[in-house]
A and B are shown apart, each in its own frame.
Chain A
Amino acid sequence: MHTRGKAFIAGISEHPTRKAVDTSVAQLHAESARGALDDAGLSIEDVDAYYCAGDAPGLGPLSMVEYMGLRNVRHMDATDVGGSSYVLHVGHAAQAIAAGKCKVALITLAGRPRSEGMATGTAPRNYGDASPDVPFEFIYGPTVVNMYGMAARRHMHEFGTTSEQLAWIKVAASHHAQHNEHAMLRNVVTVDDVVNSPMISDPLHRLDCCVISDGGGAFVVVAPEVAASLKRDCVKVLGCGEAPKNLMSGQVDLTYTGARWSGPQAFEEAGVAPGDIDYASIYDSFTITVLETIEDLGFCEKGKGGAFVSDGNLIAGTGKLPFNTDGGGLCNNHPMNRGGLTKVLEAVRQLRDEAHPAVQVKDCQLALAHGTGGSLGTRMGSSTTILGRADA
């Protein structure tokens, strides 16, 4: 079943908080939901499908549907593939709408790791003793940073990628974040600033890492007839793809991501090629995440990402591939350590001509949003969606 053009994103909301000391996780979800429904011109009575992932408290949709008073939900999806979940949800919602299962799907994300003092990047992660990989990995102290550090090290070894090239990704994000009043890091940084920042887990420096923030966001995916009834500019869902990638039974290769498979699915469904994309939201937990993903999506040849991202090529207005014009996870916001949802939001802003004027891509017709969940160093979920203007 093809879903090209069979669903639209009608409303978006990014919670303005970056430190939610006095707000619960459920409240953040609900406030984000209200913002997205208001933006679309819809009410909770209109919502007939609800999507969330592992950040939702309690029993996911069961808890949150009740909390928010969503009385008309007849379709649910709680697929959790880490931070990429919400990009994947775009595709699942489009499929459900195309199949006639629902007309108004609400997707929310929220969390408060900053207020809760979570050592997001530097404390070893343990997904539970019943996870079959844990006994053979957790003992060695895998943290988010050293897992991505291992990917960066191998990419450098095979392709000659340098720390300075990775640094350009942070530099570009910082150029965009200076215009975002909600961004956590608004200072423009240089390549020297990045490579001279403290080493966290080599070869990744502090400024190769994303921020840790509280907050949330939401968006609403609707059927074409609903989109046509709304006053708001709606963005058309053109193509979606998803794929897991892992350690492949011991044939480990950390130099590529699941975008190698999710990207072509999305491009094929949309009927477009990487060169057609005007703006890209690329998941940016770390600089290396962006570099490998750009290669895997086909914006440049494998191994040439270092040269591609250098010299400001990702900066809106000057570069060939303007990316993460809200400042991304690297500078703006990475709510609940899951950056996929905000990737969708900035792609929608660009297609609506509602990005900050300093970073708005002129005549933006086609945008891509990509999510990477889990870890580049072990197992990940990759999801890609391609969006266009309503008349695309």
Chain B
Amino acid sequence: MSARKIPAPPTNVENEDFWAACNEGRLMLPRCGDTGKFFWYPRKISPFTLSGNVETVEAAGTGEIYTYSVMRRSDPQYAIGYVRLDEGITMMTNFVDCDFDSLAVGMKVRLVFVEAEGGQKVPCFTPA
């Protein structure tokens, strides 16, 4: 079964650095420079202080499944979900290269990059 092709993410001046890092195999997590707290999704304004003092830190690439749902009615099927990263934030993703019936809340997963339409690499997860 061929996997669902991921569409190219729309990039803009705020997130182009994030996507460039993905193409180099790095998932860069935004962290508020004022409070030291990670946040998701990436932005150049801190949602904790509304300041532009935002730094980025490379993710360890490990976490566990917070929740997921397998889109049974699509062809091909795909698994969407949220991963709670070991850094303490939760991000939306796809689970790939696995038997969807084996997925479970709490399962340990690791980061993999999948090439989207047009060649951009996007962060996905697979069982660790």
Question: Taking beta carbons and an 8 Å cutoff, which residues of A are in contact with B?
Answer: 122, 129-130, 132-143, 145-147, 149-151, 153-154, 157, 198-204, 247, 249-252, 254, 378
Contacts and interface: CB of A to CB of B under 8 A. Distances in A.
21 contacts: A122-B71, A129-B10, A136-B41, A136-B91, A137-B41, A138-B9, A140-B6, A140-B80, A140-B94, A141-B71, A146-B71, A149-B69, A153-B67, A153-B69, A154-B66, A157-B106, A200-B73, A201-B70, A202-B69, A247-B41, A250-B38
Sorted nearest first, the 3 A-B pairs with minimum C-beta distance are: A250-B89, A149-B69, A250-B40
Contacts of A198: 72-73
Given A139-B6, A141-B78, A150-B68, A132 B73 contact: no
B12 A129 contact: yes
Interface string B11-53: 1101100010000000000000000011111110001100000
B2 interface: no
Nearest to B46: A249
Given A146-B69, A157-B67, 15 more contacts: A132-B14, A134-B10, A135-B12, A136-B92, A137-B41, A140-B80, A150-B67, A198-B73, A200-B73, A201-B69, A204-B69, A247-B41, A250-B90, A252-B90, A378-B92
A251 B15 CA distance: 21
Nearest to B106: A157
Main secondary structure of the interface of A (DSSP, over half): mixed
Contacts of A201: 69-73
A122 B74 contact: yes
Nearest to B48: A249
B62 interface: no
A135 B15 contact: yes
Given A140-B93, A141-B94, A252-B82, A132 B41 contact: yes
A200 B84 CA distance: 25
Nearest to B11: A135
B122 interface: yes
Nearest to A205: B72
A254 B72 CA distance: 21
A150 B80 contact: yes
Contacts of B57: none
Contacts of B7: 138-139
Nearest to A132: B43
Given A132-B14, A132-B41, A139 B82 contact: no
Contacts of A143: 71
A149 to B, nearest CB: 3
B66 to A, nearest CB: 6
Contact of A142 (B38, B40, B43, B92): B92
A251 B47 CA distance: 12
A137 B116 CA distance: 13
A250 B67 contact: no
B127 interface: no
B105 interface: yes
Contacts of A249: 37, 39-40, 47-48, 89
Contacts of A250: 38-41, 88-91
A102 B39 CA distance: 43
Contacts of A200: 71-73
A157 B91 CA distance: 18
Contacts of A130: 12
Interface string B81-117: 1101000111111100000000001100000000010
Contact of A146 (B39, B80, B89): B80
Contacts of B122: 139
Given A136-B91, A146-B69, A247 B40 contact: yes
Contacts of A251: 89-90
Contacts of B84: 252
Contacts of B90: 247, 250-252
B80 to A, nearest CB: 5
A316 B82 CA distance: 38
A200 B71 CA distance: 6
Nearest to A123: B74
- Residue among A136, A145, A203 with the most chain B CB within 10 A? A136
Contacts of B67: 150-151, 153-154, 157, 254
Contacts of B47: 249
Contacts of B74: 122, 141
Nearest to B38: A250
A135 B9 contact: yes
A249 B30 CA distance: 10
A150 B72 contact: no
